[in-house]
């Protein structure tokens, strides 16, 4: 799930309640604000369901703002009581301060890449005319705003390398403004494009303009909550007003269809991907740009039956990555002159590993696979003949491999849980890879261990899990453990380096990642086994991971925390309500907590492909059975919990977290703290400045240090 007011100071100590609030519960010396309960209810398929905190869906009323302020004062009062909080923040900041390079890409004769000197709020975009030339700054997002809450959210360089279209996002919003900058002068043109969401920019061959998708301008004050329907695709010509942009494609017959454009590398065709919500199934249409005008688009894939990702073309031969008749995907060729399925050609067949992506570079295919949730890369000729494996340093993840079929050069980045990795320059002809940039951190990766284990879920399904910890850890059931998961939307969770997670391990903790169903680690069937009426499999997988960690003496309930964000926040909320006895702490972030109303806000309707909808009787029954806000039981002792959200998240609206936190505090009967940390001038997570990310990480670990009763006496000594 695919992307305000002044911040309430975290220095506020003590417990403070506004006058309109009274105490509703006391735990560990904390007095919680009381959220008003209304008599609001709804009837679903003959079942009456109460929704007493509906008023919190409007985040900008005086009552909601007062509740937000009161909750933050309680939360930061508790966090300030953790003696090690400043030291944790200091260590995270110290380790965060190293050069970070993005993966370079090349357009025309110019190289483009991002770099962060260490603690800059945002990475800076550079360009150079050769790989050895001193790079020049092209876009510095740190100059967009004084507090770092305006971010670079997208970019696309024209094929001639002389113009770049780039998106700007404010306070983490999914809404973007796009502008155009001349590379040679570093100056912006007057073009400004608004009301763009979930779109890139795809340039025509001679860089006269580009295709993009947008929505109609929201009415009144509904930009942050109104549902988004009827996406439309336009063509923008450089130097023109947005009002003059040509409407190229829309679907007034179906409000849910999403539209994205891709101009082929040779510039001859525009490919349109048509999707519905977050479902991977899509349709494909195309148009010959050299055929005069936009005309009528030709339908190539005309029904939603499988996933088809356009890779590249050789004249009229189009290459697609697809899961049609191949749950773990394969590469096929379709000649648009003979588009019938009997003429389709299989180039790279399905294998036991999941084919994640394919790039066409230098007359070869670079195929990126997942083998038990970590990267494997293979090189093939354009006819599908295997050439070689690309050897990687270890169990980790790779990204990059952008380039063109008329060039043999590409770049990729390797990383793992305990190694920030390096950026490599790769020659696809010779197979030679050289280090382009290697980060230098103030720690030794050899001090840490990554192991992968497999455990059985409730129904016997074999689930992989990564365990990361400092060497010398003793399996005595006393090690603080942070179990992370996601489990949705065909998204694979693979090894990634994180300074925050490194500090957790440095403090003596285990960082565990369960690759549960609902993700894409093992292809289409793995994903679908964790959707709609089978969504409970996801929670069962995660609960089984927690039980395995306890049974095998890695940790114990008082030392075990669970965490996840967005769909992973739902995961934590559901597992928290189903098994409150199993964990010592929970950290649900920006979670989807109200499963009966999620589709009524912004892009929430798009998630029904994974979740289903309360409008359907069978799906309503399944949703209500695990919906976190509807399954809290009064009088239950819940584990220590810190809900986190942004007060103007326009992806998963903060009402989810607000309502869950209010209901949790009202239901909780134990002594463990149950809090909500509400970030202001922040959205779903993308584009957050470094300073804000460090503060959040420090508060997350500080909360666990306090609630899991971690002993840090020997940390860093």
* 291-321 residue pLDDT tens: 777 778 999 999 999 999 999 999 999 999 9
pLDDT for 689 = 86
446-451: long-range pairs with CB below 8 Å, 24+: 447/471, 448/417, 448/418, 448/502, 448/505, 449/418, 449/473, 450/395, 450/416, 450/417, 450/418, 450/495
pLDDT for 717 = 63
Query: What's the rounded Cα separation, in Å, for the pair 104 and 402?
Result: 9
Nearest to 273 by CA among 262, 265, 264: 262
Residue 14 has pLDDT above 90, yes or no: no
Residue 225 has pLDDT above 70, yes or no: no
Q: What is the CATH number of the domain that holds 90?
A: 3.40.50.1820
Structure confidence at residue 17 as a pLDDT band (50, 70, 90): very low
Chain segment 66-119, per-residue pLDDT in tens:
999 999 999 999 999 999 999 999 999 999 999 999 999 999 999 999 999 999
* Paired tokens of 75: 């939360």
**Which structural domain, as residue segments, surrounds residue 90?**
26-94+447-707
Q: Does residue 664 fall inside a structural domain?
A: yes
pLDDT for 685 = 54
pLDDT for 612 = 97
pLDDT for 222 = 57
pLDDT for 224 = 61
Chain segment 90-102, per-residue pLDDT in tens:
999 999 999 999 9
Residue 221 has pLDDT above 70, yes or no: no
Active site residues: 566, 684
Q: Does residue 145 fall inside a structural domain?
A: no
Overall average pLDDT of the 267-279 stretch: 94
Residue 408 has pLDDT above 90, yes or no: yes
Neighbours of 137 (CB within 10 A): 12
Q: Does residue 669 fall inside a structural domain?
A: yes
Phi, psi of 120 (to 5 degrees): -60, 145
Given a contact cutoff of 8 angstroms between Cβ atoms, the answer to whether 562 and 465 are in contact is no
Nearest to 351 by CA among 399, 318, 386: 386
Q: Does residue 226 fall inside a structural domain?
A: no
Residue 25 has pLDDT above 60, yes or no: no
Chain segment 470-495, per-residue pLDDT in tens:
999 999 999 999 999 999 999 999 99
Please report how many Cα atoms fall inside a 13 Å half-sphere around the Cα of residue 344, on the Cβ side: 17
Our count of domains for the chain comes to 1
Report the predicted TM-score, pTM, of the whole model to 2 decimal places: 0.91
Average pLDDT over all residues of the chain: 92
Of all residues in the chain, the percent with pLDDT exceeding 70 is 94
Q: Does residue 474 fall inside a structural domain?
A: yes
Chain segment 534-543, per-residue pLDDT in tens:
999 999 999 9
């Amino acid at each position: 799930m695919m992307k305000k007011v002044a911040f309430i100071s975290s220095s506020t100590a003590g417990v403070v309640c506004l006058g309109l609030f009274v105490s509703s519960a006391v735990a560990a010396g904390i007095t919680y604000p009381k959220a008003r309960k209304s008599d609001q209810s709804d009837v679903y398929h003959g079942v009456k369901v109460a929704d007493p905190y509906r008023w919190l869906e409007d985040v900008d009323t005086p009552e909601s703002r007062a509740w937000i302020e009161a909750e933050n004062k309680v939360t930061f009062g508790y966090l300030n009581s953790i003696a090690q909080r400043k030291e944790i923040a200091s260590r995270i900041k110290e380790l965060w301060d190293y050069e970070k390079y993005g993966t370079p890409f090349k357009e025309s004769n110019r190289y483009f890449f991002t770099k962060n000197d260490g603690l800059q709020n945002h990475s800076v975009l550079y360009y150079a005319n050769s790989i050895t030339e001193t790079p020049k700054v092209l876009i510095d997002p740190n100059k967009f705003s004084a507090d770092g809450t305006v971010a670079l959210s997208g970019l696309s360089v024209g094929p001639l390398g002389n113009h770049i279209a780039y998106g700007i996002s404010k306070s983490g919003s999914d809404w973007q403004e796009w502008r155009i900058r001349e590379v040679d002068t570093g100056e912006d043109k007057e073009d400004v494009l608004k009301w763009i969401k979930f779109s890139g920019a795809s340039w025509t061959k001679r860089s006269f303009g580009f295709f993009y998708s947008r929505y109609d301008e929201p009415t009144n004050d509904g930009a942050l909550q109104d549902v988004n329907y009827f996406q439309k695709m336009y063509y923008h010509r450089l130097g023109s007003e947005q009002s003059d942009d040509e409407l190229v494609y829309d679907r007034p017959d179906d409000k849910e269809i999403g539209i994205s454009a891709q101009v082929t590398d040779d510039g001859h065709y525009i490919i349109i991907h048509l999707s519905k919500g977050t479902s991977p199934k899509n349709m494909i249409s195309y148009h010959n740009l050299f055929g005069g005008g936009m005309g009528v688009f030709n339908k190539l894939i005309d029904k939603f039956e499988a996933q088809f990702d356009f890779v590249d073309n050789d004249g009229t031969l189009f290459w697609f990555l697809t899961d049609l008749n191949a749950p773990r995907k394969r590469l096929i060729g379709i000649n648009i002159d003979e588009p019938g399925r009997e003429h389709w050609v299989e180039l790279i067949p399905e294998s036991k590993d999941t084919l994640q992506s394919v790039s066409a570079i230098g007359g070869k295919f670079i195929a990126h696979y997942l083998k038990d949730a970590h990267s494997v890369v293979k090189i093939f000729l354009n006819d599908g003949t295997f050439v070689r494996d690309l050897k990687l340093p270890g169990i980790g993840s790779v990204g990059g491999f952008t380039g063109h079929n008329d060039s043999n050069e590409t770049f990729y980045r390797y990383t793992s849980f305990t190694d920030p990795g390096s950026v490599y320059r790769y020659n696809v002809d010779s197979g030679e890879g050289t280090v382009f940039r290697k980060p230098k951190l103030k720690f030794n990766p050899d001090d840490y261990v990554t192991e992968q284990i497999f455990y059985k879920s409730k129904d016997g399904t074999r689930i992989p899990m990564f365990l990361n910890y400092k060497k010398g850890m003793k399996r005595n059931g006393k090690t603080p453990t942070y179990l992370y998961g996601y489990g949705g939307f065909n998204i694979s969770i693979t090894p990634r380096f994180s300074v925050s997670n490194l500090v957790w391990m440095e403090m003596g903790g285990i960082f565990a990642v369960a690759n549960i169903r609902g993700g894409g680690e093992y292809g289409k069937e793995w994903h679908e086994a964790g959707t709609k009426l089978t969504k409970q499999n996801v929670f069962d997988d995660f609960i089984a991971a927690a039980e395995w960690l306890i049974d095998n003496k890695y940790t114990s309930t008082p030392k075990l925390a669970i965490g996840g964000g967005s769909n992973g926040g739902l995961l934590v909320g559901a597992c928290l309500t189903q098994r409150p006895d199993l964990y010592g702490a929970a950290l649900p972030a920006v979670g989807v907590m109200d499963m009966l109303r999620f589709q009524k806000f912004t892009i929430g309707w798009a998630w029904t492909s994974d979740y289903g909808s309360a409008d359907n009787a069978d799906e309503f029954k399944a949703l209500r059975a695990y919906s976190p806000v509807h399954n809290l039981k009064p009088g239950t002792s819940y584990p220590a919990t810190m809900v986190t959200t942004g007060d103007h998240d326009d992806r998963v609206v903060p009402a989810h977290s607000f309502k869950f936190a209010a209901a949790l505090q009202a239901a909780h009967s134990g002594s463990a703290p149950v809090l909500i940390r509400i970030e202001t001038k922040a959205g779903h997570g993308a584009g957050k400045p470094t300073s804000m990310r460090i503060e959040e990480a420090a508060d997350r670990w500080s909360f666990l240090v306090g609630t899991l009763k971690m002993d840090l006496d020997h940390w860093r000594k």
